[in-house]
Chains A and B, each alone.
Chain A
């Protein structure tokens, strides 16, 4: 089973678009201890935080304890992102992050991170969501993240490619 380590912003975005329940089909949903505390902070104020706390309580999202080394990454990323990258390197897991700095630091560290957009593409590729679902989820994600038009176009093309390939494969 694939092990995914999500950082806080990715899980918040995926919770906002209500696709979180589908993520288990791709692999286990794990967070580092710092990310866990970031997710549940202000749970009285933000409904996403409340939902994420319930998911943590039900062990749908699991906190992964690990031996945290001294930060070896840039001070330009947060403690949660730093911890998530370290965790992925230690246990050979896939990082999910929605941040430019974190993505590039992870790439330089030899990881192949994913973003929320790529998670949606993976769900489509694996047949876990339909093309219609993809379009709806992606539209919402693009609105929340205020994705640039070229990025929307890029993923629309990718999704179309997958649909074509899937139909060719029967």
Chain B
């Protein structure tokens, strides 16, 4: 099911969309939809990673928020060079 959403955009931005749509052989609304979907995914991922790095959420919770598998999240955080959120204090409590 789709719903209509009205959005006011700057003329300059609309021009950018039109130019990009023409380059990519897409109609304007298809391009906007594509950018929105990619943007939402990116925002979800960035938000989840930020919360993980700040030790506010766990790795699995981050995967849930980012709506990706735990395998994909582990691969991405390794690729991004983000260290494990376990601290030396955690280990001292456990050993």
Contact = CB atoms under 8 A, between A and B. Distances in A.
B9 to A, nearest CB: 35
A78 interface: yes
Interface residues on A, range: 35 or more
A147 B70 CA distance: 19
B56 interface: yes
Given A9-B74, A115-B94, 20 more contacts: A9-B70, A39-B70, A41-B71, A46-B69, A48-B71, A49-B69, A76-B58, A77-B60, A78-B60, A81-B61, A99-B85, A99-B86, A100-B55, A100-B86, A101-B85, A103-B86, A114-B94, A118-B94, A147-B83, A150-B88
A154 B90 contact: no
Interface string B55-94: 1111111111000011110110010011111111011111
Contact of A100 (B58, B69, B75, B82): B58
Interface string A85-118: 0000000000000111111100100001111011
A117 B88 CA distance: 12
Contacts of A54: none
A63 interface: no
Contacts of B62: 78
Contact of B60 (A9, A13, A118): A9
B13 interface: no
Contacts of A100: 55, 58, 85-87, 90
Contact of A12 (B74, B81, B84, B88): B74
Contacts of B85: 99-101
Interface string B14-48: 00000000000000000000000000000000000
Given A145-B84, A146-B84, A148-B88, A102 B58 contact: yes
Contacts of B69: 38, 41-42, 46, 49
B87 to A, nearest CB: 7
B60 to A, nearest CB: 3
